[in-house]
Structure 1
Amino acid sequence: MGSSNILLIDSCSADFENVKNAFSEIGIKSTLYRAKNDTEAWSMLQGDNKISPIPKIVLIDINEEGINGIHLLNKMRIHPDLKSTLVFVITKTDNDLNKIAALNLNIAGYMYKPCEGENSKDFFSILNDYWNIIEFTREKR
């Protein structure tokens, strides 16, 4: 995957720092962006604050308060530049309705957030290995 962009959608600053630290420890070269909610995320994907190139991977906590993740996923799946984006739901809470809805929107995986520390490093190391062996579409700007 090299050094492409990754968007994390999570309202929790501590979780963002945890992911950022794990990326640094593992040596993930991708640029990590953060949106605190689905509105901010859409602006970064297709609005005034659009990230270029468009992130190939989106990590989202659809169960986090203030994030309408299913709505965002629906918008992404009908948008021609975003419909093939790899989306991983990474959450601390269990919500069967959201899990089913997300899986029906062709997410790449529904996983539970690791706790801080070594588990986080191992978790993102495994994801990074996966990201580096799959084929992505060409860069969209």
Structure 2
Amino acid sequence: MGDKMTNLLLVDDDEVDVMTVQRAFKKNNIQNPFYVANNGLEALAMLRGTDDSTKVPRERRLVLLDLNMPKMGGIEFLRELRADPELRAIPVIVLTTSNEDKDKVEAYNLNVAGYIVKPVTFAKFVEVVATLNQYWMLSEMP
């Protein structure tokens, strides 16, 4: 594995949350290619390389997914992703404010690699991102 970079796609419509993730990555010195989609529809277009959107490279992709978004929410996105033979193997980690049991159960039923409720403080969030980084550095991904 060594120097392989993971292409990270953050799917989140909240600008403050996106900036928080970017700051946490910087604080942890994570320099992986980083892409942002504002909803599930944009994310699918980026993963498929359609609609003149920015294309996320096919190698070593990991999706960080919020659940509550306009147009296409996280659960709907997961259903589409898992139904697509080209995309179904992409690991997804839910990173959301939703602590609802029904959301957790539904997400795990759609084969997410993890479900993380966004911490309230930035310091805690930096710790979460450091842990995620260790996970994807150790994980064997196609």
Give the shorter-chain TM-score range.
Answer: 0.7 to 0.9
Structure 1 residue 7 displacement after superposition: 0.6
How many Å separate the matches in 1 of 2:46 and 2:76? Answer: 16
Structure 2: runs of 5 or more not aligned: none
* 2:57 match: 53
Structure 1: runs of 5 or more not aligned: none
Counterpart mapping for 1:25-44 below 5 A: 25-44=27-46
* 1:124 match: 129
Contact 2:6/2:33, CA 8 A, preserved across alignment: yes
Q: How high is the sequence identity, in percent, across the aligned residues?
A: 35
Q: 1:86 to 1:27 in 2, by over 3 A?
A: same
Deviates further, 6-15 or 109-118: 109-118
Q: Could you say what the CA RMSD is over the residues aligned between the two structures, in angstroms? A: 1.7
Question: What amino acid does structure 2 have at the position aligned with 1:34?
Answer: V
Question: What amino acid does structure 2 have at the position aligned with 1:107?
Answer: V
Contact 1:61/1:91, CA 8 A, preserved across alignment: yes
Structure 1 residue 115 displacement after superposition: 2.8
How many Å separate the matches in 2 of 1:93 and 1:53? Answer: 29
Contact 2:9/2:56, CA 8 A, preserved across alignment: no
How many Å separate the matches in 2 of 1:74 and 1:51? Answer: 20
Matched, 1:133 2:138: yes
Structure 1 residue 82 displacement after superposition: 1.2
How many Å separate the matches in 1 of 2:74 and 2:98? Answer: 14
Counterpart mapping for 1:44-123 below 5 A: 44-46=46-48, 47-48=50-51, 49-54=53-58, 56-62=61-67, 64-66=68-70, 67-123=72-128
Contact 1:18/1:116, CA 8 A, preserved across alignment: no
Which fold has the larger relative contact order, with Cα–Cα distance below 8 Å and residues 6 or more apart in sequence? 1
Question: What amino acid does structure 2 have at the position aligned with 1:5?
Answer: N
How many Å separate the matches in 2 of 1:95 and 1:52? Answer: 30
Structure 1 residue 52 displacement after superposition: 3.7
Deviations 1:29-74 (A, max 9, x none): 2111111111111111112225241361101111x24142112111
* 2:6 match: 4
Q: 1:76 to 1:50 in 2, by over 3 A?
A: farther
Taking structure 2 as the reference length, the TM-score comes to 0.87
How many Å separate the matches in 2 of 1:117 and 1:101? Answer: 27
Aligned length: 136
* 2:21 match: 19
